[in-house]
Structure 1
Amino acid sequence: MRKFNKISTKIKVIGALLIFLIGGVIGTTAYLTQQNTKDALLINIAGKQRMLTQEISKTIFYAQYSKIFDFSEMDKASHEFIEGLDTLKNGNKTQGIFIVSTEEISNQLDKIDYLWGNFYKNIKDYKQMAASSIENEEEMKKIVDFIYANNTILLENVDELVTMFTNHSEGKINFIKTFQIFAGILLFMIFIYSFSQLKSIESHVDSFMQYSKMLADNEDISNLAPIQLEAESESEILEVSDTINCFINKINAAVGHSNEALLQSQKASSKLEELTDEFDTILDELKDRSLASKHLNNSEDIVIASTEELINSTKKLTNIKKELDKLIKNCQELK
């Protein structure tokens, strides 16, 4: 959890989310747009199949009643229909068209393939009879009737296939729209999350800077208060604050010890002064006694020496306190 609270980690997570989402939107949209282009080509091929069946039927009807047996256009239309049906069923790598793998479309293509097989067989039979010198008028009429009856069925099934391809393509378009809306909402949420995290970082840094400014402006270092940050603050800020708090605690301890030592030395100095006064009184009373005077003088020298040492210690401790007091002034001058 502490690792995730690092400022660098938060920035990396936000950046990774944005890159992933934007890349996903661009990649998915580009891919589906390309697929829709191929779907449009499939719809165009399927729609053309309807026209080809009508052209083939028209040629047969015209030949039957005009007795002009020119099947060049019909052969061309039949060949184009066969190629188109093969592309719809198996795809075309040259054109970049792939199989549409839906069960509904696959079943419909199989049905059209079956209808076309019977339809095309009768067309070829009609051509053979038309090219034959044998009179086959009755058989040719039956074929024409079959084509007339099945042309509508084939046309309706091809038309249904076109509708299926159209619905399939529209489904992809709707998916793109839905995906883009979802991605937009997700992107908005990431922006809100990013803004909240940046505000949190700004708030924690501001608290730290305010404390640093207060620390620099404070002239009294006798009792510095440690910095208090929220538990969810970023780990980098917490580490710096812990270091500063450690330094503050050491300063507080040093000031406390120096003040206590200074107070004790002052008390000792006061006691020694009292003892000195008492010795002076005793000396006045015993000034006529040479031996006592000698011993008392020695004791007085010892007391005076001790007093001087305590006074020196007091001065040194006072200097230490002054040096600590200068620390704040130096911080103010550097500010």
Structure 2
Amino acid sequence: MVKINSIKTRLNIIGGLFTILVIVLIASGFSMAYRSEQDSYIVNISGKQRMLTQKISKEMFFLHFKDIYDFRNINSALEEFESNLESLTIITKKDSILRSYDNKRLEDKLDEVKNKWIPFKKEILSAIEIIRHIKNDTKILNIKTEQLLNRSDEIVEIMEKEKFSPYYINVSGRQRMLTQRMGMFVKRYLKDGDKQNYALFLEAKKLYDETISSFFNDENIKKDKTLYLYVSNNYNYWQEYKSYIENLIKFESKINNSIEYIYQNNITLLNTMDEVVSLYAKENEAKNKTFVISLYIISILSILGAFYAYSLARQINLGMQEFIEKSKMLSSNVESSSAILNPRDDELKKVSENLKDYMEKVNKAMVDSSNTILKVENIADELEEIVQGIGKALENLDIEESKKNRLRKKISAVEDLAIESTENLIYISKMLTKFQKNLTDVSNEHEEKDN
């Protein structure tokens, strides 16, 4: 295992660790907030689907059993249910990147809802179209029933005018009552689908049909051309009226079948949506549990990171104290510096090595300075002896005075140059001595502070 001695590396590890933990914590918080909002939206929509399923069935019953036909509510519910179902399908597939078991079950369950919804919606739209058709035909039925009643009245009036027997007049008058009963009971049946009303309608219809058929084939009535003409017209109109009512009843039968289908499949669709809501709630609970576990893990890592940071900081502090103590020893024992300064941290090692080299150079400079001072003094003495010897020799020479003067000037210049060189060397020696004194003062002050 690689041993980490660098202070910089340790600090980078601490900073990087806490940066990662903070980023993960913030990202988890934002992710959870977004997922919580999305999950609430999904659960709300899926719960609303159950309400819409019941609303659609309720509106169908209202449309069937009430005289007021308002298709806006049911159309709006159908559109909203289908739109919500599509949204749930898209969100679930988009959210199933990890393809979890519950996600797959949700997709399958939504497909099941969709497969049940398509024929359910088709049956409802078919029933709505029939109800819309019956609404218009019910108005026409009133007109046709009124026309049939008038035709029956006309036959009664002609029979009374032509002095037919009371039997004919009585039977013909009964046709008016039967017409009213047929119109009343068929309207009730179309409204509530009550089989008793349908049975009463069939009874009146059968008696009316038998009566008008007997009139149409009666020889006595045929003899009266005017009466027979009205009876024939009434008979033909009755065939049309009867066919019209039979078609209405067929439509009503289809509506009843649709209502029965809606009633049965509404429960199935509702139960399937309940399962979807349950799965969404379960999925949401699992996500919340995962988030809580991740928070625990992050918290534990944060605590461990804090302990690790404290440990590293303590090691760094101990290393610095050790370095300071050993640097004090270095100032009083240069020769053993390599043994004294041996810190564990890489940065302190570099500082230690630089300090050791610097102190060695300073000590060497101090030694060289002492040697230089001695050399300068020796050179000054030698120069002085040389100049004195040349001066004596010049006085003993037998040459012209002018030449002696020129030689004296040159000797004097050499002497001046020697003096100047000596002064420079003395100045340099003084500067080195001053530098040595300053270093000694710094060292003494450092020792006083340490003590």
Q: Give the TM-score normalised by the residue count of structure 2.
A: 0.51
Q: Residue 222 and residue 73 in structure 1: after superposition, are their counterparts in 2 closer, same or farther (change >3 A)?
A: closer
Partner in structure 2 of residue 84 of structure 1: 84
Does 1:238 pair with 2:233? no
Q: Displacement of 1:240 after TM fit?
A: 2.8
- Matching residue's letter, 2:113: I
- Matching residue's letter, 2:57: S
Partner in structure 1 of residue 148 of structure 2: none
Q: Displacement of 1:107 after TM fit?
A: 0.9
Root-mean-square deviation (Å): 3.3
Does 1:332 pair with 2:413? no
Q: Displacement of 1:327 after TM fit?
A: 7.8
- Matching residue's letter, 2:351: V
Partner in structure 2 of residue 44 of structure 1: 44
Partner in structure 1 of residue 289 of structure 2: 174
Partner in structure 1 of residue 35 of structure 2: 35
Q: Displacement of 1:225 after TM fit?
A: 7.8
In 2: Cα distance, 1:177 partner to 1:138 partner: 58
In 2: Cα distance, 1:330 partner to 1:121 partner: 101
- Matching residue's letter, 1:209: I
Partner in structure 2 of residue 131 of structure 1: 132
Q: Which protein is bigger by CA-based radius of gyration?
A: 2
SS of 1:70's equivalent? coil
In 2: Cα distance, 1:224 partner to 1:122 partner: 100
Q: Residue 71 and residue 226 in structure 1: after superposition, are their counterparts in 2 closer, same or farther (change >3 A)?
A: same
Q: Displacement of 1:84 after TM fit?
A: 0.8
How do 1:24-173 and structure 2 match up within 5 A? 24-91=24-91, 99-101=94-96, 102-132=103-133, 133=137, 134-135=248-249, 136-173=251-288
In 1: Cα distance, 2:363 partner to 2:2 partner: 29
- Matching residue's letter, 2:260: D
Q: What per-residue deviation string (whole Å, max 9, x for no partner) do you get for residues 110-140 of structure 1? A: 1101111111111011112212233322221
Q: Residue 88 and residue 210 in structure 1: after superposition, are their counterparts in 2 closer, same or farther (change >3 A)?
A: same
Contact 1:211 1:227 in 2 (8 A): yes
Percent pairwise identity:
27
In 1: Cα distance, 2:270 partner to 2:336 partner: 97
Q: Residue 39 and residue 224 in structure 1: after superposition, are their counterparts in 2 closer, same or farther (change >3 A)?
A: closer
Q: What per-residue deviation string (whole Å, max 9, x for no partner) do you get for residues 163-202 of structure 1? A: 2222222222222211111111111111111111111111
SS of 1:5's equivalent? coil
- Matching residue's letter, 1:155: L
Contact 1:221 1:328 in 2 (8 A): no
Q: Among 322, 346, 359, which residue is 1:207 paired with?
A: 322
Does 1:189 pair with 2:304? yes
Partner in structure 1 of residue 387 of structure 2: none
In 2: Cα distance, 1:111 partner to 1:2 partner: 59
In 1: Cα distance, 2:124 partner to 2:53 partner: 11
Q: Give the TM-score normalised by the residue count of structure 1.
A: 0.67
SS of 1:99's equivalent? helix
How many residue pairs get matched? Answer: 259
Q: Residue 210 and residue 140 in structure 1: after superposition, are their counterparts in 2 closer, same or farther (change >3 A)?
A: same
- The more displaced of 243-252 and 27-36 is 243-252
- Matching residue's letter, 1:139: K
Q: What per-residue deviation string (whole Å, max 9, x for no partner) do you get for residues 61-99 of structure 1? A: 2333345433221111111111111111124xxxxx983
Which segments of 5 or more consecutive residues in structure 1 lack a partner in the other structure?
92-96, 254-323
How do 1:209-224 and structure 2 match up within 5 A? 209-216=324-331, 218=332
Q: What per-residue deviation string (whole Å, max 9, x for no partner) do you get for residues 230-287 of structure 1? A: 6xx110112233445567889999xxxxxxxxxxxxxxxxxxxxxxxxxxxxxxxxxx
- The more displaced of 56-65 and 73-82 is 56-65
Q: What per-residue deviation string (whole Å, max 9, x for no partner) do you get for residues 267-320 of structure 1? A: xxxxxxxxxxxxxxxxxxxxxxxxxxxxxxxxxxxxxxxxxxxxxxxxxxxxxx
Which segments of 5 or more consecutive residues in structure 2 lack a partner in the other structure?
97-102, 138-247, 365-435
Q: Residue 24 and residue 225 in structure 1: after superposition, are their counterparts in 2 closer, same or farther (change >3 A)?
A: closer
In 2: Cα distance, 1:50 partner to 1:330 partner: 89
Contact 1:50 1:159 in 2 (8 A): yes
In 1: Cα distance, 2:125 partner to 2:289 partner: 44
**Larger helix proportion, structure 1 or 2?**
2
In 2: Cα distance, 1:20 partner to 1:158 partner: 42
Partner in structure 2 of residue 226 of structure 1: 339
- Matching residue's letter, 2:301: L
In 2: Cα distance, 1:69 partner to 1:50 partner: 24
- The more displaced of 12-21 and 43-52 is 12-21
